[in-house]
Homo-oligomer: A and B are copies of this chain.
């Protein structure tokens, strides 16, 4: 089709960069079209609405990431640990670099905002997309941690999501602080290296006595 950088792509590129840095709601169409050097109305012309643009930005990544993660999860060897499960995210995440130069960082930031934003439509959309993989993830984690009840697993998985999402959303700011305080430049990939042991450790932790189910389990 286009010779070089069609309007639609210019919008997608500018939008994803701004979304990843400031979130979806905080980014206006006027900022996006200004950065993309296109007319304001072209967003509604090509995508229909801002909501649709947001979904289009997400879709570009999800279409690559989701099947890749699914494949990794299916490739797990029997007897795998919690750590092994979370390590399944490494390759799909690294592959994001092929979608875009700073793909891994951008994608995780987008994902963070997508999950954090209160907007129902995005929540529903991403949840639908993630529904399948979520089930796979839950099954794998339950197999690695058979001692955890479903409800415990439910909550811990959301704690994991929280730590992950948060680390990415406030990632740029945190990396700045870390670099200033410790004189150490920290790439986004290295944050993953620090995050995975943390969430695996949390997942493997013993459950609190008082939060155990009604079945009496002394000692």
Residues of A at the B interface (CB closer than 8 Å) are 22-23, 25-26, 116, 118, 150-152, 154-156, 158-167, 169-170, 174, 177-178, 181-182, 184, 190-191, 193-208, 210-211
- Please judge, given known A-B contacts A154-B178, A154-B181, A159-B198, whether A169 and B206 are in contact too, CB under 8 Å: no
Copies in the complex: 2
Residues of B within 8 Å of A200, CB to CB, are 205
Q: Is there an interface contact between B166 and A162, defined as CB atoms closer than 8 Å?
A: yes
Assembly CA distance A55 to B187 (angstroms) = 34
Residue in B closest to A116 when the chains form the complex, CB atoms: B116
Contact A158 B167 (CB under 8 A): yes
Can you list 12 A-B contacts with CB-CB less than 8 angstroms, sorted by A residue number? A23-B118, A116-B166, A154-B182, A155-B198, A159-B194, A162-B162, A163-B202, A193-B210, A196-B208, A197-B208, A198-B205, A200-B205
Q: Are A184 and B151 in contact (CB under 8 A)?
A: yes
A208 & B193 in contact (Cβ 8 Å cutoff): yes
Q: Is the CB of B198 within 8 A of A211?
A: no
Chain B residue nearest in CB terms to A171: B158
